[in-house]
Amino acid sequence: MSTQNPTSSRIHPHKFTLWVAMASIIMMFAGFTSAYIVKMNEGSWLKFQLPSIFWLSTAIILLSSLTLHLAGKSFKAREMARYRQLITVTAVLGLAFILCQYFGFRSLEKQGIELIGQRSNSAASYLLVITGMHMLHVLGGVIAIAVILFLAYSRKVKNYSPLPIELTTIYWHFVDVLWIYLFIFYHFVG
C-alpha cells in the first residue's frame, strides 16, 4: 500500500489555469496566422521587410527569458538580493521589447507603409494586429513581473513560496516562444 499523498502529484490550480489560458492564446494566434496566409494569397499583398529593430527586440526578449530563469533559480536558492536585481532587469527588458516593437511600427510608417486607414494594405494591418496582440500579452507579463518585483522589495515577513515566480516564468517563456514563432512566420511566410 502506498503512503504517498494522492494530491501531491496534482498540478496546482493556478498552473492549470495558466496552461488553459496559454492553449487559448495559441489557438488565437493560430487563427491570426491562418487568416494572414489566406489573405496573403488573395492578391494585392504588399511585400516589405520587417524593420531591423525587430531583430533587436527578439534578442531582448530572449535575454529577458534568461534573466527571469536566473531570477527563479536565485529565489529558490534564497539569494534575495540577486533575485531582486534579476527581476528588475527582466522588467526593464520587457519594457524595452515593447518599445522596440513600437519603434519598429514607427519605422514602417516612415517608409510610407500605412498600418491602418484607407491607404493601408492588409499586410501591414495584419502585422499590426498580430504583433499588437502579442505586445499586449507581453505587457501582461510585464505587469506580472512588476507585481513580483513589488513583493520582492516590500515584504517584511518573507514568504518563500515559489509559485508566483514559477507562474510568471512559465508565462514569460511562453510569450518569448510565441514571439519567436511570429518572427519566423513573418520572415518565411510574410
Indicate whether 11 pLDDT > 60. yes
Angle, CA 104 vertex, CA 99 and CA 109 arms, to 5°: 125
Q: pTM, whole model, 2 decimals? A: 0.87
Kindly list the domain boundaries of the chain, sorted by start residue: 50-188
CATH architecture of 50-188: Up-down Bundle (1.20)
82 sits in which H/E element: helix 80-110
Q: How many Cα neighbours within 13 Å face the side chain of 175? A: 31
Tell me the average pLDDT across 14-39. 94
Q: How confident is the model at residue 7 (pLDDT cuts 50, 70, 90)?
A: low
Q: CA of 31: how far to CAs of 34, 36, 40, 128, 158, in Å?
A: 5, 8, 14, 15, 43
pLDDT digits (tens, 9 = 90+) for 37-78: 998 888 777 888 889 999 999 999 999 999 999 999 999 998
Indicate whether 87 pLDDT > 90. yes
pLDDT digits (tens, 9 = 90+) for 102-160: 999 999 889 888 888 887 788 888 889 999 999 999 999 999 999 998 888 876 656 67
109 or 7, which is more confident?
Answer: 109
CA 56 to CA 97: how far, in whole Å? 8
End-to-end CA distance of the chain: 58
User: 36-74 burial, b for 16+ CB within 10 Å, e for fewer?
Assistant: beeebeeeeeeeeebbebbeebbebbebbbebbebbbeb
